[in-house]
Amino acid sequence: MLGATLDTPAFPLPPDTATAPRPRRAGWAAAAVLVATVSLTVLAFPPFRVPEAAYALLFPALFWAYHRPAWRLYLGTMFAAQALAWTVLLGWLHHVTWLGLLLLGPFIGAWVGVWFVAARWVMPRLPGQTAPVRLLAVLGLAGGWVVVEWTRSWLLGGFPWLPLSASQWERVSILQVAPYTGAYGISFVLVMMNLGFAAYAHRLFRERATGINKRSQEFFLALFLLLTCVSLHLTEAFNRRGQTVPVGRVAIVQPKIAQEIKWDPQRAPAILEVLRRVTLEAAASRPDLILWPEAVTPLAVRGDETVRLWVEGLVREARAPLVLGSIAIEQPGQPGESWRNGAFLVTPAEGVAPNYYVKRRLVPFGEYVPLRPLIGWIGKFVPIGGDFAPGETSSPLLTPVAGSALAAGPLICYEDIFPGLARGSVLGGSDLLVVLTNNGWFGEGGAAEQHAAHAVLRAVETRRPVLRCGNAGWSGWIDEFGVIRARLTDEAGSLYFRGFRTLVVTRDPRWIGRSTPYVAWGDWFVLLSAALAAGAGLLLRTAPRPPPAGGA
């Protein structure tokens, strides 16, 4: 077996799988797999409401891989399918730059598509192998998927947008494994279900198994993992009945400031008037806390004395503390001047607090230009200042809410798509997570819901409520178990509107001051997945040849 080439069977195959298909037949198979993969991948994620497609989006490619298609045809088809699917999923990016969409979509598609190299190598080697070998092989493939998703969170700056787990953001029954494994465990189970379906289909339709041999151990292992997730959900649903304590009344303000006027100095008075009007309307509902979105003031609340005094005056008039996103300019006008994207606490009694949160993960070409000496000519698509300085700490904002001090852990812009940042905030002492974002450049397509799906994962991983405030949407409250308890919409049901809503927020006392296994241990499941992938690869290369027929 060690001397076999990638296209040479490691053991005798049934006649109908050992013979390569004719070119015309192979072309039709490739086209069918491409269409099915793209369709299922796009449908699985928001804004579409077909999360069950995630249980089958890998099935066409896996079932086809069993038949030993030519390597060039298979990988070409899968890379094309992923590039097309991701270009569609990231279609909102055209509001920022068409060039970015046409580059990033295929790039992410190729990144995810690396996994299909392993799938093409593994799947044809499974028929005829013993059950333990096959089970370790599929566990290794699922582990490989997790490793690929993990690399997306840090490699080349990181862009972990829409991991497979995000497709289930409205299906809490499968989410409850995340406090133990992180969202990676959800992706693992979904990939296992795809592998199980493919194995079962191959056993029935290609191996033509009959009687007791029709059973697929791969499928039953995948089903066991899925049922484990469901049992965790049922256990949590039973244990949390009536287990809530009040946090307070939180008013979420959506000013809906258009991106094209946001940084126009001549529009600053009008923008401030919008903020004042909507905030005072929210204050009439007597909230304990008011939230504004990311970078909401047209001028820096720290570094511009006029804006600071204006915000402090408004907060005194509203008689409620405010957490807002704004720009900080440190040492303005001096050689050491630096710009920061921050979250600030403002109270009626003390004004703008001296300590504030600084965004840790900056947007490439939005807040800084990577490799500026080489590609600085590209510039930024946000027309303010120079490069921003990143934050280094995850310290929460100690916010007075309903007579007590609440540690609010801010996440700015797209920081909630990085699981490590939310974990760091909880390790830093956060009682809840507050996402302040500006989705103005997304347009009014599906990107707001795609973005919000990540906040659901962060809530479940950390067992912390998440309050989310967007410039125009998606805004709302997600509880510790991933249940969307409130979602701001207007009378027509649209996310995209100017206004506010005051929410009565609660939390589960069982998780106050406690850390989940994921928060405490970090990405241990990624290490396990990598070990499974490596072990499966080694076993398949060294496993003895099975008999020509039969097998468990």
User: Tens of pLDDT along the chain (552 residues)?
Assistant: 333 333 433 334 444 444 445 677 888 999 999 999 999 999 999 999 999 999 999 999 999 999 999 999 999 999 999 999 999 999 988 877 788 789 899 999 999 999 999 999 999 999 989 999 999 999 999 999 999 999 999 987 889 999 999 999 999 999 999 999 999 999 999 999 999 999 999 988 877 655 556 678 999 999 999 999 999 999 988 888 778 999 999 999 999 998 878 878 889 999 999 999 999 999 999 999 999 999 999 989 999 999 999 999 999 999 999 999 999 999 887 888 999 999 999 999 999 999 999 999 988 766 655 544 444 445 555 555 567 889 999 999 999 998 899 999 999 999 999 999 999 999 999 999 999 999 877 778 889 999 999 999 999 999 999 999 999 989 999 999 999 999 999 999 999 999 999 999 999 999 999 999 999 999 999 999 999 999 999 999 987 665 544 333
Interhelix angle 419-427/447-462, rounded to 10 degrees, is 40
Measuring CA to CA, which residue among 77, 68, 57, 53 is closest to residue 15? 68
pLDDT at 260: 79
DSSP per-residue letters across 172-228: GGGGGGHHHH-THHHHHHHHHHHHHHHHHHHHHHTS---GGGG--HHHHHHHHHHHH
Measuring CA to CA, which residue among 551, 524, 518 is closest to residue 182? 518
Strand partners, 466: 433, 478
In whole angstroms, give the CA distance from residue 495 to residue 443. 12
Pure H helices in 97-130: 98-113, 115-122
CATH architecture label of 245-507: 4-Layer Sandwich (3.60)
Bond prior to 47 in cis (omega within 30° of 0): yes
Q: Which residues contact 161 (CB under 8 A, 6 or more apart)?
A: 90, 108, 414, 417, 450, 454
In whole angstroms, give the CA distance from residue 154 to residue 477. 28
Between the alpha carbon of residue 502 and those of residues 283, 284, 288, 477, the distances in Å are: 9, 10, 10, 11
And the tokens for 62?
């896996």
Element containing residue 500 per DSSP (H, E): strand 499-507
CB 442 within 8 A of CB 484: no
In whole angstroms, give the CA distance from residue 417 to residue 360. 12
In whole angstroms, give the CA distance from residue 233 to residue 482. 11
